[in-house]
Structure 1
Amino acid sequence: MVDAHRTFVIVGGGLAGAKAAETLRAEGFTGRVILIGDERDHPYERPPLSKGYLAGTAERESVFVHEPTWYAGAEIELHLGQPAVRLDREAGTVELGDGTRIRYDALLLATGAEPRRLDVPGTDLAGVHHLRRLAHADRLRGTLAGLGRDNGHLVVAGAGWIGLEVAAVARTYGAEVTVIEPRPTPLHPVLGPELGTVLADLHREHGVRFRFGTGITEIVGQDSQVLAVRTEDGDEHPAHAVLAAIGAAPRVSLARAAGLELAEEPVGGIAVDASLRTSDPNVYAAGDVAAFHHPLFGTRLRVEHWANALDGGPAAARAMLGREVVHDRIPYFFSDQYDMGMEYSGWAPPGSYDQVVVRGDVGKREFIAFWLREERVLAGLNMNVWDVTDPIQRLVRSGEPVDPERLADPSVPLESLTGG
């Protein structure tokens, strides 16, 4: 039975919020747990939206974090389809869109991020899509099926993770795909030119057209339908649908209006300490919206990936319970495109590394790539090579210098390259 003398409120119906609620109960919290989500769907995971669910190979029910009946069984109170519109820190209350005020003793903001919009004429046309929510995926899935059936064209603005994954799914439906990216290679800020070309070649082999070094200036349409897109280089590309996949912005409006400290750009998000506590000791943040100081990399990071939500929600819940918490997980993400699977661990933005070392066969797309600075591993990516995430993360965490020649040699076990 719930003891109503303490109330913990979670704002955000994604993976971070759901796992925080689960952890509070698993760790023995007997007070009220209230989860607020502005979508009507129960909390779900977002990776399938651009992978299996979008492709039609995963059922809708598979995306949800818990069965709907789990929440009642765990005595989690749900307010779904209700946005949180105001946070009154002095009163310790959250106000919902219908005027309801909910008191809290501790509050977790897991408000996530929202897609960035193209700032060009034509973005209001019916064929322009974004992909962040389950409803977006439902709509886009129907569009891709129709494009494949009718030999239609999809133009993807942005060659990041979402853009590339959707491009791959669109090709499996049979749609024609053109990806437009201002940078010189896909995923340029993450993989750099050294590995970005590998993904470009993969997609070209599957019929995707790329236009690098240019951006969209206009989406052309008639009777609300998309007909083409125009780019900065003066070209016009046929299109029956457009996906804007140009990144996401942390949803900080609630925190900003409440006067919580925000992280400076370009990181953005809600500034939190190592225990995911904000500038208000009773308010925490986790998931895409949280900008935390990572002790290993010595800088503030905001990580928009599944693993950060999976780990950050429980970490914040434990901190809310008064436990000693240091959120220092190595950033991790994964992607599936065609017959290629990859995992990335670490943090190596442009300018942070001085060497890229590859072990394995790049031509066969069966390799591990490492980004190094002064012979210390900052990050590693394994493509179609499995069960190596743990040793890669140990290399990153150790901070020990490694011999690049041994690192590149597949006969040398990765485990032997660290002291621990």
Structure 2
Amino acid sequence: MVDAHQTFVIVGGGLAGAKAAETLRSEGFTGRVILVGDERDRPYERPPLSKGYLLGKEERDSVFVHEPGWYAQADVELHLGQPVVAIDREARSVRLGDGTVIHYDKLLLATGAEPRRLDVPGTDLAGVHHLRRLAHADRLRQVLTALGRDNGHLVIAGAGWIGLEIAAAAREYGAEVTVVEREATPLHAVLGPEVGQMFADLHAEHGVRFHFGASLTEIVGQDGMVLAARTDDGEEHPAHDVLAAIGAAPRTALAEAAGLTLADRAEGGGIAVDASLRTSDPDIFATGDVAALEHPLFGARLRVEHWANALNGGPAAARAMLGRDVTHDRVPYFFSDQYDVGLEYSGWAPPGSYDQVVVRGDAGKREFIAFWLREGRVLAGMNVNVWDVTETVQKLIQSGARPDLNALADPGTPLASLLA
């Protein structure tokens, strides 16, 4: 039985928002829980959009966080297809696009991120795509099916995780794929050049063509359809469709208009939150892709866009809203599947933050663990086709240990022994 003594409003209908609502109920909150999402679909998880669902290996219903009836059973009020357009901090209320005003006692912003747009001529053509929402994945499945059937060409701008996963999916459908990337290797911003080259080799073996050191400058079309993509070095690539995979920007407009403190762009932007996911307003919290967390473990402000951050951040924010003592210090984690390669990455080690990479195992066979270190301390680890080691890798990162480098590189030395 819900009573109206308190109302907690969650803005954002993704995984973080849905898990926050679930946690409020499981932790015994009896007030109103209102979840507002600007999509018409109920909350869903995003990894399948570039993996199993995109490949046709998972059903559409498998992406949703909860069954359709769960929200009514849990007394969670859903407002779908309805954006929040303003926050009134003084009145502690939010205003929806249709003019409805909802009072809140605590507010959680889980507004996520949106794909960055290509700022070049031709982006209004019918064959230019992004992947962020379920509707995008629905459309892209049709596109990849047609490209594979007709031996069509897909040009992908960006060799990050989304770009590479879609490249792999497109090749499995049988499409021709060219990836344009301004850096010298894929995944440069995450893995640096040392490990990024492995992904270039992997995709090249599966027929993907890379054009490194270049950026798209124009998408050429005729009668509203894509014909080719041009790059700043004068090259022209034939294309029937173009996918922009050049990153995502945190959706901070609502927070900014409300006067909440934002993180610097150099820190990834986003809404600045402390270790309990509280913003500069004590009654407003933020989590998921939009939150820039002052991370206790790394001593830096991080904005993490991956599934695990939403999965764990939503519940952490819910507990903080309930007044619990919360320190959200989990090690960042994500996973990826490309062809016959599966991997898990834990930690945070962008280029410039580490001084050494140690490889344990056989990188040539793509069965290894890579570690990024600074002054002997493990900052991050990525296991590639090596399983059941993530917990130990994360403990190495959390402990601040400085393991013997020969032992770290030796597959015969148990990882757990390096924690001592």
| TM-score, normalised relative to structure 2 | 0.99
Moved over 2 A (4+): none
1:87 is matched by which residue type in structure 2?
A: I
Alignment partner of 1:16 is 2:1? no
Q: Secondary structure at the match of 1:303?
A: coil
What is the deviation of 1:400?
1.4
Cα distance in 2 for partners of 1:406, 1:374 equals: 16
* Equivalent residue runs for 1:150-229 within 5 Å: 150-229=150-229
- Unaligned runs of 5+ residues in structure 2 are none
1:4 partner amino acid:
A
2:63, 2:148 → 1: CA distance? Answer: 24
1:280-295 maps to which residues of 2 (within 5 A)? Answer: 280-295=281-296
Displacement of 1:374 in angstroms is 1.0
Matches within 5 A, 1:15-414: 15-266=15-266, 267-414=268-415
Question: How far apart, CA to CA, are the structure 1 residues paired with 2:28 and 2:210?
Answer: 52
Deviation, structure 1 residue 255: 0.3
Letter aligned with residue 72 of structure 1 = A
Cα deviation, 1:68-126, whole Å, max 9, x if unaligned, reads 10000000000000000000010011100000000000000000000000000000100
Q: What is the CA–CA distance in structure 1 between the aligned matches of 2:94 and 2:116, rounded to whole Å?
A: 26
**Letter matched to residue 318 of structure 1:** R
- The CA distance in 2 between the partners of 1:305 and 1:254, in whole Å, is 22
Cα drift, residue 285 of structure 1: 0.1
* Counterpart Cα distance in 2 of 1:280 and 1:68: 33
Distance in 2, matches of 1:265 and 1:194, equals 26
Q: 5+ unaligned residues in a row in structure 1: which ranges?
A: none
CA RMSD of aligned residues (A): 0.5
What CA distance in whole angstroms lies between the structure 2 residues aligned with 1:201 and 1:103? 54
Distance 1:350 1:364 in 2: 25
Corresponding letter in the other structure for 2:372: W
User: How far 1:189 moved relative to its partner?
Assistant: 1.1
Question: How many corresponding residue pairs?
Answer: 419
Q: How many Å separate the matches in 1 of 2:319 and 2:224?
A: 49
Distance (whole Å) between structure 2 residues aligned to residue 355 and residue 61 of structure 1 = 44
Shift of 1:5: 1.1
- Paired residue type of 2:324: R
Deviation string, structure 1 residues 221-260 (Cα, Å, up to 9, x no partner):
0111000000011010000000000000000010000000
Amino acid at match of 1:88: D
Percent identity of paired positions between Structure 1 and Structure 2:
78
Matched letter for residue 23 of structure 2: T
Q: Whole-Å Cα distance in 1 between the matches of residues 164 and 16 of structure 2? A: 25
Cα deviation for residue 415 of structure 1 reads: 0.4
CA distance in 2, matches of 1:351, 1:78: 44
The Cα offsets for residues 146-199 of structure 1, whole Å up to 9 and x where unpaired, read as 000000000000000000000000000000000000000000011111100101
Mapped partners of 1:320, 1:374: distance in 2: 38
Aligned partners of 1:89, 1:98: CA distance in 2, in Å?
Answer: 19
Opposite residue 197 of structure 2, the aligned amino acid is T
Amino acid at match of 2:352: G
The secondary structure found in structure 1 opposite 2:328 is: coil
